[in-house]
Amino acid sequence: MKEINNKDFVITVVGVGYVGQPLINEFARTKKVYAYDIDSEKIKALGNNNKNDNIVYTNNSKCIGESDAVIVAVPTPTYDNNNPNLEFVINACKTIGDNLRKNTLIVFESSYYPGVTEDICIPLLEENSSLKNNIDFFVGYSPERINPSDKIHTINTITKVISAQNNFVLDQVEKLYSLIPDINLYRTTSIKVAELSKIIENSQRDLNIAFVNEVSQLCHLMNISTIDVLETSKTKWNFVDVFPGLVGGYCIGVDPYYLMDLGKKYGYNMNIVEQSRKTNEKIPLFIVHSLNSLLNNIKKENIKVGILGYSYKANSDDIRNTKVELIYDELKKQHFDCMISDYMLFDKNTNFNNYRELHDLDVLIIAVPHDKYRNMSKEKIISYFNKSSSKKIILDLYSVYKNYNFGSDVIYWTL
């Protein structure tokens, strides 16, 4: 294996997305990096805007054969039935195997259940390359922890878990990621431990949100404020500070399904995880149901609803698995006149009518608390409404405007 500190050491990152791109940027500080993706349009766009001579954007897989290390950062979604979808990882392994040269270090960052690296990926690499693991090539696993749009918890500030099948390879993985300035690395005991740690991190978050989502629904039945209850509970030193809301994206909304699938392989049902998923998946319907209750049987065809925010999380343009889409679809299904606006996506090709400015509304749903929306004045919010509307309703899912006094002609609702 080539010495990683060698000036000619070359890295390929497979998958140029929310995980791959930050890695490319960091490694390209000191090394030549091939940024490989099968999406030719993405590669062309990124290549046209590339200002770093160390980065080569390409959809030519031959670059893998010119590399000393390959990092796999492809998505691991679920199918429509919520079963794990490993097609991207499997295809990446076949492509890497077809181009693999001896003494290459391969590190997987994709999130999946324990056993995928050693029982699926490595055999595919061997089969497609005719090379042998731990003799001709070497494999590690380092679960991604990149949080899109988060400027605090970056790859330079988080603790990054690394793992391998033996200490020799683990040492090489450590040297590879140590190329990233200020990175904090945690050597764990095995690849399976690292794989499982990733999916339980996100599953735990899903459980916590599901709990407060259930509390929120109970509070509404009791006609008391969810946020007042949570703020009061937070005065205890060990209360976990989690807020109710929508759970989307390809981490928290997906990894629990991988954990449930893992349990089934061992004949064990992850009942709490399963119930939490069901709870969080139903929140969009609860929101629409709550709106119907506020409207008191007014004809929906006459109600104009505007939704602010479409991405799956605040201050991000990532729309993967966004649950705002479920709210929109249900409103349309019930014949509401509905439109969405998200300033983060004005230049993106999305699958909804992307109104730049909402207007003449009866109902405003603040679905994603982007900073720009958080900073809106009361007057700006009111300007979205039809002045002659008999009922002005604000559904503020994240209690952004809880301190505003909108007056008696506005119904203000929060989760």
φ/ψ of residue 50, rounded to 5: -75, 130
| Beta-carbon contacts of residue 15 (< 8 Å; ≥ 6 apart) | 36, 37, 72, 73, 74, 75, 88, 92, 110
Tell me the C-alpha distance between 141 and 120, whole Å: 13
Q: Which one of the listed residues 63, 93, 219, 251 is annotated catalytic?
A: 251
Q: How far is the C-alpha of 290 from the C-alpha of 298, rounded, in Å?
A: 14
338 belongs to the catalytic site: no
In this structure, which amino acid lies at residue 254?
A: V
196 closest CA partner among 246, 265, 148, 296? 265
Sign, CA dihedral 198-200-203-204, equals negative
| CB burial of residue 150 (10 Å; 0-12, 13-18, 19+) | middle
* Residue pointed to by tokens 């991604």: 144
How far apart CA 375 and CA 372 sit, in angstroms, is 5
Query: Which residues are part of the catalytic machinery?
Result: 251
